Structures are given as structure tokens and as C-alpha cells.
Amino acid sequence: MTTPPLIEQIAERVERLLVRHEELQRTNDLLAQQVQALTQERDSLKSRLMAARARVDSLIDRLPDVAAGRVGSPAVVSHKDDAA
């Protein structure tokens, strides 16, 4: 069994490296697309969460104020978080 000349061995390794590089580029492109899609989904979910919080805060603000001491009004406890 004869060994191929050094230049052929180098050329073969370079070819394998080029193929591997192309594979990694495709993988990287797919991952970048996934990151972009997930970023958009996250931003959409954050927006929906903020809208839901605003609606809940609006509903809480419409509840009768227990501190006003209204006679005959049911005792309603506000769960609005002052730190939020």
C-alpha cells in the first residue's frame, strides 16, 4: 500500500474542511433564524403581558375603595401591588 503524496493529503484535508465549513455555515444560518423567530415571539408575549396587566390594573381601579368607608358596601380587598 502506497501513501499518497503530501500535496494530495493536504488537498483532501482542505476539501473536508471546506465541506465542514459549509455545514457549519448552514447550521449557523438556521440557528440565527430560530433566534430571530424566538425574539419576535418573546417581544409579542411581552406586549400581550403588558396589555393584560393594564387591563387588570384598570379593573382593580374600578373596584370600590374599602378605605373610603362606604356604609353598606361589601368589604372588598384590593390585591393591587403598590410596588408594581
**Of 51, 77, 53, 50, nearest in space to 63 by CA:** 77
Q: What is the pLDDT of residue 11?
A: 97
* Residue boundaries of the structural domains of the chain: 6-61
**What local confidence, expressed as pLDDT, does residue 65 receive?**
79
Whole-prediction pTM value?
0.59
What's the confidence (pLDDT) of residue 84? 44
pLDDT digit string, tens, across residues 46-65: 999 999 999 999 999 999 87
Spatial distance between the Cα atoms of 50 and 10, rounded to a whole number of angstroms: 59
Whether residue 12 has pLDDT greater than 90:
yes
